[in-house]
Structure 1
Amino acid sequence: MKEQLPLAPEDIKRLRKHLIPMMIFPFMVVAMFGLFVSFIFEDFVDSFAGDTFGKIMIVVFGALFFGVIGYMLWSATVDLKRGFKYRITGKVTDKRLNVHTSTTTGSGGSRGSTGTSTKTTKSYFLYIDGEECSVEYKDYSRTKVDSYVVLDRAPRSKLTLKLTEVEPADFDRKAAEEQETENKKFLESRIQEVRLSDRDLEAIKSIYTAEKNKRFQFMAPVLIFDLLLIANGIWTFVVVIFPLLLVPLYQFYKIIRSYMRYNNGKLYGYKIGHTALVEDKLTFTSNRSGNVNRLVTTKGTINVNTILYDKLSVDDKIILFAPKQGKHHLSLITLDKEEFYLR
C-alpha cells in the first residue's frame, strides 16, 4: 500500500540535515585537491599547463562531480518545497546488496607517470511487496525478509525518512508463541548419522580442491617474491621482511589441515545432520563477481542456487548435513525430504 502524507517536523529536519554535508562536501574536495597538488606534486602545475588532454579530463570530471552533487541538492530542495512524502506499507519479500567496483587510470607529473584507483560502492535494497526501495545500511541490516514494515521516503530524492517494523493485521500472538516453542524443539532434536554417498564424496573433494586452490593463489606471489630474493642473495632484505616469509608457511599449514579434514571425513564415511531455521535471505549482486543467493540460518550463512532460494522462506525448518570429520556443509534437506547439494 502506498499513500501520500504531509511531511512531519522530524521529516523536514531529516531532509535539512541531509542537505548540510552535500553543501560542504564540494568545497572540501576542491580545497583538499588544491593542497594535495601544491604540496606534494609541485611539478604537476607546470606540466599540467601544456597538457590539453589533462585539462579536458579535469573539466569533464568536475562537470560530472558537481552535476551529481547539484542534482542531489536540487532533489532534496524539491522535496522540502513540495512538503509531502510517500508511505509504503507492506511485506518485505526480498533483500539485495549490490556492490559496484570501478577502476580509473590517470596520468600526470613531468615524468608521465600513471596511477590506478579503485572505488567500491555498496547499495542496499529492500523489496516491499515486490517494489524495490533503496535504504541505508542500518535499515537493511535490521530488517528481515517476511517482516511487515512502514517506510516513509521522500518522493524526489528517494531518501528514507523512517522505517519501522509493524505486526500484520492477522497477527496472532498465541500462534507465534506456539511456533517459537515448536522451533526450539526442532533445533534441539538430534539427527542420526548417515553414510556418505558417492555424491557426498564428490562434494567433499570439491570443497578441499577449492580451498587448496584458493590458498595456493594467495601464497604464490609472496612465495615467488621470497624465492627471488633468496636466489639473488639479497639476504639483508630477506631479514627485514622476515614476517612476510611466514605467509607461505601459514598457508601451507592450512592446506595440510584442509587435506586432513578431507581425508578423515572420507575415511570415516558418515555425515551428520544439524537442524536449523532460515532466519533471513538476501541476493548479492556485483559487476565483478556475479550474483549470489544467500540464506542466513541459525547455523550460519550459506550460498544456494536460485531454485532453493525461491523455495525457502524465513522460519522454514531445514537440516544441514556436514561430514562427521569436517566443518563445511555438503547438502540441505527440506521438510518435504528434498535434498539440495550446496557445492
Structure 2
Amino acid sequence: MKEQLSLSPEDIKKLRKQLIPMLIFPFAVVAMFAVFYKLAFKNMDDSFFQDGISEKIFMGFAVLFLSILGYMVWTSVIDIKRGFKYRITGVVTDKRLNIQTSSSHGSAGGRSGSSRTSSSSSRHYYLYINDEEFSVDYKHYTRVKVGSSVVMDRAPKSRLTLSLTVLSKENEDLQATNQNRVENIKFLESEIREERFNDADFHALKQIFRAYTKRKLLFMLPFVVIVFGMITNGLIGFLIVLFPLFIVPLWQGVSSLRRLGEYVRNKGYAHKRGVTALVEDKLTVTGNRRKGTNKVITTRGTLSVSTVLYDSLSVGEKIIIFYPKYGKLPLSVMKLNKEEFYLF
C-alpha cells in the first residue's frame, strides 16, 4: 500500500541535513583537483599545456561532477518545497545486494612511462516490498528480513529513505509463539541418522571436488609458470631469494592434496550426515563482474543455492543440510516434505 503524507519536522530536518555535505564537498574537490593539477602534470610535455588540452579535460570533469552534485541538491530542495512524502506499507518479499567494481589506469609519474591499475567496489542495497524494488541504506537493509512487515517513509524526488519501521505482530498468540520457539529448539537439537550415498550424492561429491581443485589450480598457475621459467633459465638462486612469495601457493597445493584425501575417504565411506537448521534470511547478490547468486542464511551458515530452492524457501522454515562424512562443504538441502535439492 502506498499513500501520500505531509513531511514532518523530523523529515525536513533529515533532508536539510543531507544538503550540508553536498554543499561543502565541492570546495574540497576543487582543492583536491588543484593540487592534483599542480603535481601530476609537472613532468609532462609542455605542449600538453600550450594546446589547452589539460584545461579542457579538467573543465569537462568539473562540469560533469558539478552537474551530478547539482542534481542531487536540486532533488532534495524540491522534496522540501513540495512538502510531502510517500509511505509504503507491505511485506519484504526479497533483498538484493549489488556489487559494482571499477578499475582505473593511471601513470605512476616521471619519465619512466610506468602505469598502475587500481580497482574499487561499491555496494548498493535494495529491498523488495510487495515485489517493488527500493534502494535503501545499509542500516535499513540489515534491520529487516524477508517476510517482515514494514512501513517505509520515502522522499519522492531524492528517493531518500526517511524512516523504516518493522511492524510487530500485535495479534500474535503469545502461547503459540512460545510453543513454536520450543519446537524450533527441539528440531535444532534433534539428530539425523546417516544415509547411504545414492548416484546423485556421488555426482555432487565429484562436482565439489572438481570445482575446488579448479579454483586452486587457477590460483597456482601463474606461480608455477614463474617457477618453471626461473628453473629453465638457471635462476635457481633468485628463486631461493623469492621463496617467501611462494608460501601461499605451496599452502594451496597442500590444501588441494588434503581435499583429495577427503574426496577419496568420502567416496569410500559412501554415507552422508545430516544437520538440522532454520532459514533466518535470504538475499540475491548481483554485480557487474560476477554471476548472480542466491544466498540463504541459516542457523548453520550461509548457503549458495539454486533459484528453484531459493524461491521455495521461506524465513523460519525447517530444513536438513547434508554433508559428506569428512569436510565442511554441504552436498544438499532437504525440506521436511523430503524434497531434496543438490547444491552442486
Structure-2-length-normalised TM-score: 0.90
- Give deviations 1:280-299, integer Å, cap 9, x for gaps: 01111112212111111111
SS of corresponding position for 2:127: strand
Structure 1 vs Structure 2 CA RMSD? 2.5
Shift of 1:342: 0.6
- The residue that corresponds to 2:259 in the other structure is 258
Moved more, 71-80 or 163-172: 163-172
User: Which deviates further from its counterpart, 134-143 or 165-174?
Assistant: 165-174
- Cα separation, partners in 2 of 1:254 and 1:151, compared to 1, 3 Å: same
- Give the Å deviation of 1:72: 0.6
| Cα offset, 1:173, TM superposition | 2.9
2:219 corresponding residue in structure 1: 218
Measure the CA separation in 1 of the matches of 2:332 and 2:15: 48
Deviation at 1:123, TM superposition (A): 0.9
1:69 aligns with 2:69: yes
Deviations 1:219-239 (A, max 9, x none): 222333344445555577646
Taking the TM superposition and a 5 Å limit, the aligned residue runs for 1:1-343 are 1-44=1-44, 46-50=46-50, 57-105=57-105, 116-168=117-169, 170-229=171-230, 231-232=232-233, 238=239, 241-343=242-344
Query: Conserved in 2, the CA contact under 8 Å of 1:47 and 1:109?
Result: no
The verdict on how the C-alpha distance between 1:106 and 1:244 changes in structure 2, with shifts beyond 3 A counting, is closer
Instruction: Note the alpha carbon deviations across 1:65-98, whole angstroms, 9 max, x for none.
Output: 2211111111111112222222212211110111
Contact 2:40–2:109 (CA under 8 A) maintained in structure 1: no
SS across alignment from 2:92: strand
Residue 198 and residue 135 in structure 1: after superposition, are their counterparts in 2 closer, same or farther (change >3 A)? same
Residues of 1 paired with 2:196 and 2:50: CA distance? 75
Q: 1:40 to 1:238 in 2, by over 3 A?
A: farther
Q: CA deviation at 1:119?
A: 3.9
Rounded to whole Å, the distance in 2 between the matches of 1:35 and 1:235 is 46
CA 1:17–1:230: 2 relative to 1, 3 Å: farther
Q: Residues 107 and 194 from structure 1, CA distance in 2 versus in 1: closer, same or farther, beyond 3 angstroms?
A: same
Instruction: List gaps (5 residues or longer) in structure 2.
Output: none
- Is the alpha carbon distance of 1:217 and 1:57 closer, same or farther for their aligned partners in structure 2, counting shifts above 3 Å? farther
Where do 5+ consecutive residues of structure 1 fail to align?
A: none
d(CA) in 1 for partners of 2:48 and 2:184?
68
Deviation at 1:272, TM superposition (A): 0.6
CA shift in 2, pair 1:231/1:144, >3 Å: same
Rounded to whole Å, the distance in 2 between the matches of 1:28 and 1:237 is 47
Structure 2 distance, partners of 1:131, 1:53, is 46
The code of the aligned residue for 2:82 comes to R
The Cα of 1:145 is off from its aligned counterpart by: 0.5
Whole-angstrom distance in 1 between the partners of 2:5 and 2:238: 68
Q: Distance in 2 between matches of 1:74 and 1:44?
A: 39
- Cα distance change, pair 105–259 in 1 and its aligned pair in 2 (3 A): same
Change (3 A) 1:188 1:51: farther
Q: Quote the Cα distance in structure 1 between the aligned partners of 2:224 and 2:25.
A: 44
Q: Do 1:223 and 1:245's aligned partners in 2 also have CA atoms closer than 8 Å?
A: no
Deviations 1:41-71 (A, max 9, x none): 4124835325676655544433322211111
What is the TM-score normalised by the length of structure 1? Answer: 0.91
Q: CA deviation at 1:137?
A: 0.9
Closer/same/farther in 2, CA of residues 103 and 245 from structure 1, 3 Å limit: closer
Residue 334 of structure 1 and its aligned partner are, at CA, apart by 0.8
CA distance in 2, matches of 1:44, 1:10: 52
1:332–1:341 CA contact under 8 A, matched in 2:
yes
Instruction: Tell me if the contact between 1:93 and 1:130 (Cα under 8 Å) persists in the aligned partners.
Output: yes
